[in-house]
């Protein structure tokens, strides 16, 4: 197993090697500089965030994190009830949509941050999610997630988020039946994501459509520039980094 994931690049055939990072950032309540160092070291093309700031000056907080990580705000935040998308300059944006899920009395509002993007000749959808703490509510949300991916009408899709349950859970399995569970497909780095001090559960994941080649996926414990101290200080979750080769469906733009 390689110790370093492949770098982002556009292949001669227009397919794109894309780095995707999923991260629950706990509303930036922890060490924001440590968080920024981890994200920068992972060199992602897309960051699918959960628990982005949702209240006072939330746009300012999102913009500050983007600036610290040399990325740009793509969609989400309070308008998606917490999920947020950041992207690099490799990404060309076709459209974005923030989706609020039905509110269940006594539960937090949940939502999806979504976008349709191109990198090189690859066109695909991206969706960041944070499913409910309620065992009864999560399966319905997983079904709505699959419906949303279908409604995006894209050749390929990448989904990432905090599922609040392990791979044995009904909601996790429902998504994994429709898409590749990237860590299970090509494990790399660490498996468990919660909590940072003694990670014992894998409740954060990256999923990819069938047809996308998963080059590696996992917690970037040994990734160059990512320190154990920063991983512990940045959030109450560990990030998941995936390298994906997404087939071309469009002519590649020069310099992508």
pLDDT at 251 (0 to 100): 80
pLDDT at 250 (0 to 100): 86
Map residue 217 onto helix, strand or coil: strand
Determine the topology of domain 11-246 in CATH.
Deoxyribonuclease I; Chain A (3.60.10)
How much is the average pLDDT of 122-143?
A: 97
Mean pLDDT of the chain: 95
The 10s digit of each residue's pLDDT in 37-61 is: 999 999 999 999 999 999 989 999 9
Contacts of residue 153, Cβ cutoff 8 Å, sequence gap at least 6:
none
Q: How confident is the model at residue 212 (pLDDT cuts 50, 70, 90)?
A: very high
pLDDT at 252 (0 to 100): 66
Cα atoms found within 13 Å of the Cα of residue 136, Cβ hemisphere only: 4
pLDDT at 189 (0 to 100): 96
Question: What pTM value is reported for the model?
Answer: 0.96
The 10s digit of each residue's pLDDT in 86-121 is: 999 999 999 999 999 999 887 889 999 999 999 999
Using the predicted structure, report yes or no on whether residue 156 has a pLDDT greater than 80: yes
DSSP 37-79: HHHHHH--SEEEEES---STTHHHHHHHHHHHTT-EEEEESGG
């Amino acid at each position: 197993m390689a110790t370093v994931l492949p770098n982002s690049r556009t292949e001669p055939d227009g397919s794109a090697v894309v780095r995707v990072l999923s991260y629950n950032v706990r509303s930036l309540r922890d060490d924001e500089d440590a968080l920024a160092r981890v994200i920068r070291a992972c060199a992602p093309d897309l960051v699918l965030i959960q628990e982005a700031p949702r209240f006072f000056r939330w746009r300012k907080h999102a913009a500050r994190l983007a600036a610290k990580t040399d990325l740009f705000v793509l969609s989400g935040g309070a308008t998606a009830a917490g999920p947020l998308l950041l992207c690099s300059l490799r990404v060309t944006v076709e459209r974005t949509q923030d989706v609020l899920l039905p509110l269940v009395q006594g539960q937090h509002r949940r939502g999806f941050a979504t976008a349709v993007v191109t990198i090189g000749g690859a066109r695909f959808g991206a969706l960041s999610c944070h499913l409910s703490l309620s065992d009864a509510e999560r399966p319905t949300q997983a079904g709505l997630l699959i419906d949303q991916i279908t409604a995006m009408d894209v050749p390929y899709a990448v989904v990432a988020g905090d599922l609040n349950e392990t791979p044995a859970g009904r909601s996790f399995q429902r998504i994994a039946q429709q898409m590749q569970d990237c860590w299970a497909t090509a494990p790399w780095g660490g498996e468990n994501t919660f909590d940072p001090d003694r990670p014992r559960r894998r409740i954060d994941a990256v999923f990819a459509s069938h047809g996308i080649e998963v080059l590696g996926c996992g917690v970037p414990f040994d990734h160059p520039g990512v320190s154990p101290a920063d991983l512990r200080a940045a959030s109450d979750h560990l990030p998941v980094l995936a390298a994906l080769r997404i087939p071309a469906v469009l002519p590649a733009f020069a310099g992508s």
